[in-house]
């Protein structure tokens, strides 16, 4: 079974440009999460999809960030326009069912974003 995949693995862009990150969850997983680790600090939650619906987007830093999950399969996270403080590692995770306490989230390898 394929794991969570993310593309690209690395991205270097200039301030003001746009970048789109993609996440493909494990097949059959309705729940998809985005997290971010900035400057070696803690990994922080960004948002949670259940199928194509945004269940919780309380962690989205500002309106420069737009996440979509059309059709409830893969998800994209767009940053427009990118700022220096957006640099970091963006992780995607998926899980089958968040309703129970024993749900395990499976993470992808992350996308390393550097904004110059």
* Binding region for another protein (CB under 8 A): 3-4, 6, 31, 33, 35, 37, 40-45, 48, 55-56, 59, 91, 93, 98, 101-110
Contacts for 71 with CB less than 8 Å, ≥ 6 apart:
52
Q: Token pair of 57, please?
A: 């987007």
Q: Which is nearer to another protein, 74 or 107 (CB)?
A: 107
Nearest-angstrom CA–CA distance, 79 and 63: 9
Q: Which is nearer to another protein, 81 or 109 (CB)?
A: 109
- Least separation in angstroms between residue 81's CB and another protein is 27
- Least separation in angstroms between residue 106's CB and another protein is 7
Asked if residues 59 and 45 have their Cβ atoms less than 8 Å apart, the reply is yes
Nearest-angstrom CA–CA distance, 97 and 111: 25
Q: Which is nearer to another protein, 65 or 91 (CB)?
A: 91
């Amino acid at each position: 079974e394929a794991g969570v995949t993310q593309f690209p693995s690395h991205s270097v862009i200039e301030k003001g440009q746009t970048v789109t990150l993609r996440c493909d969850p494990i097949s059959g997983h309705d729940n998809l999460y985005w997290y971010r680790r900035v400057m070696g600090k803690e990994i922080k939650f960004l948002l949670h999809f259940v199928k194509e619906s945004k269940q919780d987007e309380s962690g989205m830093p500002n309106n420069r960030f737009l996440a979509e999950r059309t059709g409830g399969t893969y998800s994209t996270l767009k940053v427009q326009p990118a700022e220096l403080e957006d640099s970091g590692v963006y992780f995607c995770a998926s899980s089958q069912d968040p309703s129970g306490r024993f749900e395990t989230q499976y993470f992808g390898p992350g996308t390393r974003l550097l904004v110059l």
